[in-house]
Structure formats: C-alpha cells, structure tokens
Chain A
C-alpha cells in the first residue's frame, strides 16, 4: 500500500464523512446564528424583502424598553434563585439518599428506600415542559378547582370565597413558575450528585467517621468539596435554563406569548417571540437574541470563575 494512495483515500473518506453533518449544521445552526448579528442592525420586519441598516438603533431602543428591562430583571432573579434552590435541595436529598442512613457506628449507607426515591424524584425530568404547563396550569387554578387552592381551603388557610389567583397575582406569578422549574429539576440533580458521591471512595467516608466527624461535618468537609465539579456544572446548566423559561411563561401566564399579568412574569424570550411573531419586528427581536447570548456567555464565565476551587483528585 503506497503512502500516497493511502492518504488520498483518507482525504476522500474524511470529506465524505464530514460533508453531510457539516452541511446541515452550517445551514441550520451556524448561519442563522451569524445572520442574527447582521439583522440586529437593521429595521427588518420579516415580511418585506427590503430593509435598512440602522446601526445600533435597535440596541438603543432596547435600553429604554420598559418591558424588556423588566424581563431582564426577572431573568436575573430566576438566575439566582433557580440554581441555588435546586442545588441545595438536590444536595440535601442526595446526601440523605446516599449517606444519610447511618446510625452511630454502622458505617455509611443511604436511608432505606433510597432506590425508590431516586426513581420517583427523577420522573419529572422525562416529562415535557408542555405537560408541566398543563399540569401546573391546573394546580394553580384561580378557583377552588385548583389543587393548591383546594388543599389550602381544605386545611382552612384560605376561604373558599376568596381563593388565591396564583398566576394572576403580580407578586406570586414569578415564584409559582420558579417552583415548577425546581419541581422539575431536583430529581435530575439528585441523581447527578448521587453518581458523583458514589464515585468517592468509601474509605474517605469511613476515615472521617473514625475521626469522629458528624453528619454535618462529613457533608461540608468531605462530600461537598469532592462534589464541587458537579455543583459547578449544574449551576451553569440551571443558569442557562433560567435564561430561557419560554415554554412555561408563554403557556401558563396570560397575554400574547405570556408574560402577564401586566408583564409581571415577562422574560426576555417571551418579549423576543412577541416582537418577532406578533409585532413583526424581526430586526429588533434579533437584537434581543444577541443581548441574551452575551448575557448567557458572561454568566457562564462568572459562574465558572466564582465557583472555582482547587480540583481535588481521588
């Protein structure tokens, strides 16, 4: 086999294998991403074939757009609370499931039924967001027919005449949505942290136990530092999810593409979609997309830097 012939065949093989995947990817992913930057400097409506270059006008308008600024604020709130609450709950449950069932000197093991908990908690993860929207839309119903109101009436916390309008209450709506995200995510991160905990050698725990560490100490001094990599990854993933929120807000709250009542649950993605599909301001919507990208990148970098610790090898 001559060397030349071999490398010639190789080149053909490499090109052949890369061609279709690359072509698809460039056409439907990369090129639209690039175009977004271009369109964001135009007054394109999406309908007309012609449009003008308007420079940074769209970005200037964005700065003064009250609705968009409110949406940005909501995204930032979610960005702090979604990862923190989800990760804390998941860590707590994961620790209980994996190392919680320890009585005095009995070694390290999970609580009874830990297998069962892992199966049940994880299930919401395979449900689509559309199912969550229908389910929680029914739970948060504004009359006694909603599960939450029905329960609160039953235990006597609220009167049947004045049930809480969860999703129409400006002060509650964002927190109601936040709960859905947490409900959906905790099981997944529980399993993720469990996998990480199980890869920690048993003798590390046993050594801590022999040294007389209590459960809290074991958790903070041993488990958490060893899990830090997974916690960091989770924070980034949850942060990206909190920047999105489109499906839940657009399907569960009032208004065209959601965001109600009176923009109190507005997030950037819903403002973007409304401007694009409803107001026909495609150029403006593209500028919002660029802002979302820039923010996501900044936040990922900040999360990774802020949570950076020395990596522990074991």
Chain B
C-alpha cells in the first residue's frame, strides 16, 4: 500500500476540506487521509459483517444444543465432528447426491441445447428467425411464479413429479432464455471467414458447429456455464413445487436447498440445532472451495453474463 495513512487522531486534527483546488495541496492531502481512514473503516466493517456470521455458524456445529440456546457468544464446548455425522445421516448426504445427479445432466444439456439454438439463430438467416429469437429471450422477463401453477400440472401430466428427469427438463427449459441470449451475442462475434473455410473444406453444418464453432465459443460457454451451475445448484422454488413425494411410499428426492430448509423445521422440533448448523456448514464448504478456486472466473462470468 502506497497511501500515507496517519493516525486517526492526527488526521482528524487537520481540517478536512470539501473540495480541493489547485494550489491547495495540503488541504487535499488531509482530505485524502481522513477519507482513507473513513473508507478503510467501512470496508473493513462490511468485510467483518460478511465473514463473522459464517464463522459463527460453523462454530455452532461444535456447540451443544443448550449452548446454542444460551448465549450466542459462547465458545464451543464440544470439539467433535459428531454433529456433522448426524447431519449427513439426517439426509444431507442424500440431498447432495440428488442435486449432483440433476446437475450432471441439466447443465450439459442446457449448454448443448442453448448453444444449438443460439448458433442457428445467430448465423443462419431464415424466415421467422427474429420471432423465434425473441420468443426465447422474452422468457427471461417473466417471474417464474407466473408459470408455477400450470407448470405443476404439466409435469404431473407427464408423470414426472418427484423424478430427476422431470426436474432436469424443467431446469433446462428455464435456463434457455438466458443461455440463448448470451450465446447468441457470442456466436455473432465469431468471424465468418473460418466458417467459409470449413465449408470449402467440405464440412457439414453439424460438423462445423461441433468441431469449429463450439470450441471457439469456449470463453462464452464457461461464462454461461458458471451462471447455470450456480443458478441451478441454488434453485429453490422449482424443486419446492416439483420435488415433493406424491404418495406416502415415494422416496424423498429433495434437492440440497430444499433439504436444508427441511432440516431447519425438523431440528426445531427435535431440538438438535448443532445438526442444523453442521448441515448448513456442509452445504457452504463446497461452494466456498469452488469459489476460492475459481473466483476470478466466477466474478468475471457473472458480471459479463449480467451486463451483456
């Protein structure tokens, strides 16, 4: 850090000027110092407000139930991982697996279908091209609640309530507007010359797409891919409506988000709050790991995905 920071008292002693004019260097400097102390204070405070609650939550997994109900600022008495084990047994493990199974299929399918549609719409002029494009993109504007009631009965008609394949198809469909929108603008930027060269070499349209265009669109695919992984991993409303056991004998196929909320109700009754804290911590850790490893790509991906 190259900024000169004086002690807060020293800085405050100087009169902070509102605006600096040329020739008033001292005044401007003191303004800078005061602002630095001030801004550092706020920046640090907000950072603490982000980190502290998360650490406190993780520590809760090592407390006893009585301790959690007692004082929030107590130090854990029980440094054992048994709450994590109980949380896993209470279903967190299964919810993890369910979410994983769905995403393994839904994300690649989203990317494939979204890119296919976007590619055709971006590079092949045909009658009705614009209509189909706006059709796809308009879906992003509507709140998902609008469709929930009919969607439930639509999935029911296909007999796919509380099934993985039902949720996978719905996830893919609802990720389509954004994926098409983003990949459309990406495919438009790719040079035509390469496409023409491939045609002269005798490659079919399908082959050009898979062997030339898709690899070239990799940066775009990564951005949208991150967006879709996070969005589908964190989805709550769609599974809450579509993934409830329909008959008493049916197994629960809750997603992680749903399962966590379920655990919250359950642990309230069973008064085993360390399990809830452990469960939440288990759900946070992979996200933290993924985020810290890919934070540059995630930040870049999400911002470019939003700004496009």
Contacts and interface: CB of A to CB of B under 8 A. Distances in A.
B295 interface: yes
B88 interface: no
B70 interface: yes
Mostly, the B contact residues are helix
B291 A126 contact: yes
Contacts of B170: 28
B39 A100 contact: yes
B28 A104 contact: yes
Nearest to A11: B126
A227 to B, nearest CB: 11
B49 interface: yes
A277 B260 CA distance: 20
Contact of B287 (A21, A127, A136): A127
A13 to B, nearest CB: 4
Contacts, number: 308
Nearest to B28: A104
Given A28-B174, A296-B143, A46 B149 contact: yes
Contact of A192 (B31, B154, B303): B303
A243 B31 contact: no
Given A17-B116, A128-B236, A137-B264, A282 B257 contact: no
Contacts of A183: 49-50
A43 interface: no
A145 B70 contact: yes
A104 B32 contact: yes
A293 B264 contact: no
Interface in A135-165: 135-139, 141, 143-151, 153-154
A20 B109 CA distance: 11
Given A39-B149, A93-B46, A230-B307, A130 B257 contact: yes
A118 interface: yes
Interface stretch (A57-65, A77-85, A105-113, A170-178): A105-113
Contact of A145 (B31, B68, B304, B306): B68
A39 B28 CA distance: 65
B71 to A, nearest CB: 5
Interface string B167-187: 001101110110010000000
B307 A111 contact: no
Interface in B241-283: 241, 256-258, 260-261, 263-264, 273, 276-277, 279-280, 283
Contacts of B124: 10, 13-14
Interface stretch (A66-74, A213-221, A305-313): A213-221
Contacts of B155: 28
Given A100-B39, A272-B145, A133 B71 contact: no
Interface in B274-308: 276-277, 279-280, 283-284, 287-288, 290-292, 295, 298-300, 302-304, 306-307
Interface in B173-225: 173-174, 176-177, 180, 204-206, 209
A272 to B, nearest CB: 6
B302 A112 contact: no
B100 interface: no
Contacts of A290: 146
B258 A130 contact: yes
A93 B43 contact: yes
Chain A, interface residues (CB within 8 Å), range: 35 or more
Contacts of A269: 143, 145
Contacts of B273: 138
B98 to A, nearest CB: 14
B307 A192 contact: yes
Interface centre among A20, A196, A290 (most CB of B within 10 A): A20
Chain B, interface residues (CB within 8 Å), range: 35 or more
Interface in A242-290: 243-244, 246-247, 251, 268-269, 272-273, 276-277, 282, 285-286, 289-290
A303 B150 CA distance: 30
Interface in A196-216: 196, 212-216
Interface string A91-129: 011001100111111100101110011111111111111
Interface of B: 1-4, 17-22, 25, 28-29, 31-33, 35-36, 39-40, 42-43, 46-47, 49-51, 53-54, 56-57, 60, 68-73, 113-114, 116-117, 119-121, 124, 126, 132, 135-136, 139, 141-143, 145-151, 153-155, 169-170, 172-174, 176-177, 180, 204-206, 209, 230, 233-234, 236-237, 241, 256-258, 260-261, 263-264, 273, 276-277, 279-280, 283-284, 287-288, 290-292, 295, 298-300, 302-304, 306-307
Given A29-B173, A144-B70, 13 more contacts: A25-B139, A30-B135, A36-B146, A126-B298, A128-B234, A129-B257, A130-B234, A188-B302, A212-B20, A216-B19, A269-B145, A272-B148, A296-B141
13 contacts: A10-B126, A18-B117, A25-B139, A89-B46, A101-B2, A106-B3, A111-B36, A128-B260, A148-B72, A215-B35, A233-B307, A289-B143, A290-B146
